[in-house]
Amino acid sequence: MEGAIIISYIGGKNRMAEWISDYIPESETYVEVFGGAFWVYVNSDIHERMNKVIYNDFNPYMVNLFRCASEPKKFMKFIESKNPPVQTKGQPELSKECNDFFYQCKKELFGRNALKKFLTDKVARLKIAKFIHHAEGGHSSLDKIEKDILNEINYCVSQLRLRTADKQEQARDKIRKKIAAGKKDQAIAMKYAYILASSFSGVDPVDAEFQDYKGMYGSKFTAFTNRLTSDKFVPKLKKIDTCENMSFEEVIAKYDSPTTYFYVDPPYWNTESYYSLHEFGKEQHYQLRDSLHGISGKFSLSYYDFPELSEMYPKNDFVWEKREFVKPAGAKEGVDQGVGEELLIMNYTIV
């Protein structure tokens, strides 16, 4: 089933979804507490085994995206009417238009400033450094000038973030209020999907940069829209009953019952900062434990192992299953990919 995804997103369970799905019991209601890109659900036959499917995420942009995607044909019709630019194989000339649209989307959704690009673009910084080096008659080394430029950019970025923080929060409050009122915004959903599809592996959408294929590959956004009309995905998307924008405590409390199954995939220990648009830190791992202990429903919890975990979920009280998976991150041609051990912790036993 590998490859059966709706859209790229950090922390997805594409390679592990089928293994996780095998441990999911038949229940009346299926709830993903940290929905993300919903990879476990879309990679499985869960839609055939459950009567009710609940998507939840603290990120309002992701919730809005899945609210729109749960009516796939309607959402696809809207996207077609807007005709956003897409990268096309063999047409590198489209890159600039796609790049411009990407950063326009980021500005509208996050108030993101363009100086961030120079923090990661060493080539651009060196060009400026060489110009200054010659203008000064070579008094300072290129390395020192480049470092000075980087420090100045960092300072400017921090100042701009302070000035735009209120506007960013206002934009997020606007979408949060729509979500809370049970509404959705197709324009915002389209732009957010465009950002995710145009970033490397769906990394942090707030600070991610445009991934320019320069005509070598087709657009991942086109792949996303194709899935909105695919017979493989449409039944699963249409089965989504509700998309919630709640904290993990709230959604667990709301849907807990003897006939509810929760799949729980939080930010992993020491990787909390990799994610954007959430409020999950070290303390929340313990709060999650408190929310899950003693619930009426069944749950399975994904983690990598860490010393505190066996204290949070003692092996005498919970079922631990382990499996090794090849890590997709950092893969290079001719280099063996790293292997990681995934844990699935459950409060029930599969017969």
- Read off the pLDDT of residues 282-303 as tens digits, 9 standing for 90 and up: 899 999 999 999 999 999 999 9
Q: Is residue 42 within 8 Å of 158, Cβ to Cβ?
A: no
The pLDDT tens digits for 33-68 are 999 999 899 989 999 999 999 999 999 999 999 999
Scored b (16 or more CB within 10 A) or e, 322-346 reads eeeeeeeeeeeeeeeeeeeebbbbb
Q: What is the DSSP letter of 267?
A: P
Digit-coded pLDDT (tens) for 98-132: 999 999 998 888 875 444 555 556 667 777 778 77
CA distance from start to end of the chain: 24
Give the pLDDT of residue 331: 45
pLDDT given for residue 87 in this prediction: 93
Q: In the CATH hierarchy, which fold is given to the domain comprising 1-58+246-351?
A: Rossmann fold (3.40.50)
Task: Output the pLDDT for position 2.
Answer: 42
Q: Which residues of the chain have pLDDT under 70?
A: 1-5, 11-12, 112-123, 154-169, 171, 202-203, 273-278, 327-338, 351
Report CA torsion sign: 61, 64, 65, 66: positive
Query: CATH 3.40.50.150 spans which residues of the chain?
Result: 1-58+246-351
Buried b (16+ CB within 10 A) or exposed e, 81-113: eeebbbbbeeeeebbeebbebbbebbeebbbbb
**The predicted structure's pLDDT at residue 202:** 62
Contacts of 204 by beta carbon, 8 Å cutoff, 6+ apart: 10, 274, 275, 276
Q: What is the pLDDT of residue 263?
A: 97
Q: By the 8 A CB rule, do 145 and 129 touch?
A: yes
DSSP string, 200-226: GGG--TTT------TTSS--HHHHHHH
pTM of the model: 0.81
* Cα→Cα distances 328→76, 163, 217, 273, 323, Å: 30, 37, 19, 19, 15
